[in-house]
Structure 1
Amino acid sequence: MIKTDVFVVADNVYTPLGKTTTENFSNLTQNLSAVKRHGDHCAAFFGDMDLNDGTACTKFEQLLIASIADALKQGNIDAADSHTVLIVSSTKGNISLLETEENSPGLQERIALSTSAKLVAAHFGFVNQPVVISNACVSGVVAIITAMRLLRTGQYETAVVVGADVISEFVLSGFRSFQALSAEVCRPFDKSRDGLNLGEGAATMILSSHEKYAGSIKVLGGGISNDANHISGPSRTGEELAYAINRSLMDAGLTAGDIEFISAHGTATLYNDEMEANAIGLSELQHVPLNSLKGYYGHTLGAAGLIESIISIRSMKEGLFLPTPGFNELGVTQTVNVCSSQLNISAENILKTASGFGGCNAAVVFGK
């Protein structure tokens, strides 16, 4: 059976490092990081960026709108086309309203991700019901895979995939309870890693199955799994993430030998990095160069998979892959090839991985 090609036609990365993908990538190549010290932890927060669009939208929704607007303009996409679908990815959405508003049925409805998705859809005139993906920290990658699958069915021709999260005291307290926050810039896969940094951000990827985009980067395949190990602790073996990786390769019609770079989840927590390294080894990808961008952006939760995929796609186009900030000495049992400096390679196919609470795992393959 011949699969429909799915092309990446436009994108936006909206973070404390910049309002466009180009601005973000330029700052990353200069080794600039948005991660700063905030009290007892390091994180990447927006400063006094003017996001007020004159509506009653929250900061979370304004981030979604700002990111989508730039991507739609780039791609000259008509949101009101009946063959276009909006997919929204987030882990926490407007949960911060619980800190400032009195709990009530009205507040519960306002906090619902479906409410935010409908507000954003109405802002741009999307006519189809938006799809919401909220599956912990794999949400962004799963949203891309969901879009790919919807376009393959022929139900839609264009998918606007957007993800965002903002960091509230609610989110901070949760990660503090796990003692997972680092007081320094995080060190993915490093022997001295001691926890993650959180970050705020948004990103949009527009996908299309229209043949006029032939020649663009493609979403070649994706895989999703759940290890059912623990509500917050990942699998100790990495077998389930390896399963998602292998499913993504099979879906793409590729083998491990075809992958030339990996954009890892790389949170810099003890257990996640160990599990991810095991999965990469089980997938026979241990020699493939990889990076984690968490030292630049922090962990942006529902936006992470999108931000890191888009930056990796730009790396493919530029032939310039970024290092892993904070990495000095390998500190995982399974050997993996962590980039510690910028790498100039012409990659045809790259892999993006993600894992999250509840044992969820996802992997997606992009190719030329």
Structure 2
Amino acid sequence: MYKIYLSHNSIISSLGFNSETVVDNIKNEVSGISLIDDKTLYHNQFYGAMVDRNLLNKKFNAFQTEEVFTTLEKLMILSLMDVIVASKIKINASVGLIISTTKGNIDALDKKSKFPQSYAYLSRLGKALKTHFLFKTEPVIVSNACVSGILAISVAKRLIKEKMYKHVFIVSGDLVSNFVLSGFSSFQALSDLPCQPFSISRNGINLGEAISSILVTSNTNYLTKESVEILGDATCNDANHISGPSRSGEGLFRSVNAAIKEAEIKPQDIDYISAHGTSTVFNDEMEAIAFNRLGLQSVPLNSLKGYFGHTLGSSGLVETIVGMHSLNLNTLFFSKGFISLGVSKPLQIIDKTTYKKLDIFLKTSSGFGGANTALLLKSVS
């Protein structure tokens, strides 16, 4: 059997500038969400999680070249560099690059931006990262709303199985911007408090920034202590609504079912679920219905949105990485913000960080336009 693995990884967020620091903060139930009052960004105060710009520039300037990069590009370069250096893989024609994002350099459209509006094209990210790291092949841009992070893993898996590449690096990220804040505000989806996924008092999302990178490979020589094998993955679009999820959870139900079938496991083999858990009324209810239809209502489940908010196109990848560390540590992380169950179907929400022997976990994501993606991963340690 041709096995594909997730290996070296990096997270940059309000909780730290590497995966270990971020995971340690999550293990200690520390949230990176705070009340932000920045009139240059948004006209009202809002709860969110943003990367420290001063620290970003300090770290980036340590090796700055004459090239000029946007904030998102700097974050992606820092994150991806950590993974490339740690893996010791030489960039050649057998190494691919996937960039996962929802909005890319959308802040270039702001009239105050020092960058031309053409930087808002997603191809700009591809060009900037390819040139900086001297990739030999054209990057693949994955932009499918909030499932982009997991979908990028699915794409990388297929590229390796088709022997187009031996290794694929993925970097994923989005920024908290006026464009994004205004958009979610127009949906009345922003919470006026730190978010509370799956809780009865939940009233919307917090937006956040978490740029993440990972190595996808079939070569066991490049595995780390938290590496996992991809057992199965699937994507299903229920085409329910431009922004609202299916009320029956049909798309998520089908994607998880398909991933389980490919993995050749049973629902009871799943030790832990890392849900999308945006903290909106409709998303959390949809997931609860889907998980109950799948017979997964008793599996320990959390949402990580209470730690760094909804990070859009990066959410699936960053939460996958945290899940990988969860398996390695045999630790179920507290679903930050959860108080009391507020969905119509039973779920086993993780209400306290606890030790438990873990082997297989399910990561799910859902997004605008009816997109739903599922990923099953197994520890190799």
TM-score range, shorter chain: over 0.9
The equivalent residue for 1:46 is 51
State which drifts further: 32-41 or 67-76.
32-41
The equivalent residue for 1:229 is 240
Q: Following the alignment from structure 1 to structure 2, what is the Cα–Cα distance between the partners of residues 252 and 77?
A: 29
What's the RMSD between the two structures over aligned residues? 1.7
1:305 is paired with a residue whose SS is helix
The equivalent residue for 1:188 is 197
1:56 and 2:62 are equivalent in the alignment: no
Q: Deviations over 1:90-118 (max 9, x none)?
A: 00111111113699xx9454211112112
1:69 and 2:67 are equivalent in the alignment: no
**Mapping for residues 1-368 of structure 1, pairs under 5 Å:** 2=1, 4-39=2-37, 40-47=45-52, 48-51=54-57, 52=60, 53-54=64-65, 55-78=67-90, 80-100=91-111, 107=116, 109-213=118-222, 216-368=227-379
Q: Following the alignment from structure 1 to structure 2, what is the Cα–Cα distance between the partners of residues 242 and 213?
A: 33
Structure 1 residue 213 displacement after superposition: 4.5
1:49 is paired with a residue whose SS is helix
Structure 1 residue 214 displacement after superposition: 6.9
Percent pairwise identity: 39
Q: Deviations over 1:116-161 (max 9, x none)?
A: 1121011111111100000000000100111111111122110101
Q: Following the alignment from structure 2 to structure 1, what is the Cα–Cα distance between the partners of residues 222 and 119?
A: 38
1:8 corresponds to which letter in structure 2? L
2:56 is paired with a residue whose SS is coil
- Assess if the C-alpha contact under 8 Å between 2:107 and 2:113 holds in 1: no
2:32 corresponds to which letter in structure 1? A
1:354 corresponds to which letter in structure 2? S
Structure 1 residue 220 displacement after superposition: 1.5
1:33 corresponds to which letter in structure 2? S
Structure 2 gaps of 5+ residues are: 38-44
State which drifts further: 357-366 or 204-213.
204-213
- Assess if the C-alpha contact under 8 Å between 2:228 and 2:377 holds in 1: yes
Structure 1 residue 25 displacement after superposition: 0.9
Structure 1 gaps of 5+ residues are: none
Q: Following the alignment from structure 1 to structure 2, what is the Cα–Cα distance between the partners of residues 314 and 77?
A: 22
Q: Following the alignment from structure 2 to structure 1, what is the Cα–Cα distance between the partners of residues 223 and 305?
A: 32
**Number of aligned positions between the proteins:** 363
Q: Deviations over 1:249-291 (max 9, x none)?
A: 1122222111110000000000000001111111111110011
2:124 corresponds to which letter in structure 1? T
Q: Following the alignment from structure 2 to structure 1, what is the Cα–Cα distance between the partners of residues 277 and 156?
A: 24
Instruction: Identify if the C-alpha distance between structure 1 residues 291 and 233 changes in structure 2 by more than 3 Å, giving closer, same or farther.
Output: same
- Assess if the C-alpha contact under 8 Å between 2:47 and 2:192 holds in 1: yes
Structure 1 residue 49 displacement after superposition: 2.1
TM superposition score normalised by structure 2: 0.92
State which drifts further: 83-92 or 146-155.
146-155
